[in-house]
Each structure stands twice: as C-alpha cells, then as structure tokens.
Amino acid sequence: MAAIDPADDVSAPALRELGPGATPLAIRAALLPEDRPDFDRAYQEALAEASSSYDLTVVHRVVNQWRGIAALQLDRVQFEKTARRVAELRTGTALPADASLAAVRAAAGI
C-alpha cells in the first residue's frame, strides 16, 4: 500500500475549512507552496489598503479569490489534470507527459 501524502487528502474537514468565512491561515495552508508568496503579498497589500481606507472590501475580495484557488488545489492530482487541459485548450497542442506542473501552469496562464 502506498503512503498517503497529506497534501493529497481531500477530506471533508479540509473542504469545510475552506468554506465561506475561511480564515486566511486555512486558505494559505491549502495553497500549493509556490502560490503562498503571491497570497502573502496580495493579503498584505489588501490589509495595508484597508488600514488607510477603513474599508475591508478589498480584504474580503482577496480572501475570497484565494479561497477559490485553494479549494481547487486541495485535490492536487485533479488540479494538475485541470491545468493540463486548460494549457492544451489554450495552446492547441498536447504538452509532454513529463512536463512539470510549473510548465503546465505557465502554458495555462495560471
């Protein structure tokens, strides 16, 4: 029996944590490691804007956008398949089977 990678676990509790009202910490934890710096930057920028404008709308927008991305990334295998399909539709050509996820995402524009 193969070992189960916790990052591949698409359990009900993980999905519940990413429901409406999900915390930024839960969202960040569910993201692929390479997306966390982009989330951190967007979240910090939103907080800075909210601090000066006294309007949390931008924070809510950023959190909800990244919540959707995190939910898609919960199932890493399905995320890669979806990204590959988007890349193929976008470029009109099949990607090599051994293409890295980074290359697939670049071709897909995600």
**DSSP secondary structure letter of residue 42:** H
* Ordered per-residue pLDDT tens for the chain, 110 residues: 344 444 444 445 555 678 888 899 999 999 999 999 999 999 999 999 999 999 999 999 999 999 999 999 988 899 999 999 999 999 999 999 899 999 999 999 98
List b or e across 12-21, with b for residues whose CB sees 16 or more CB atoms inside 10 angstroms. eebeebbeee
The pTM for the full model equals 0.75
Q: Where are the domains of the chain?
A: 13-74, 75-110
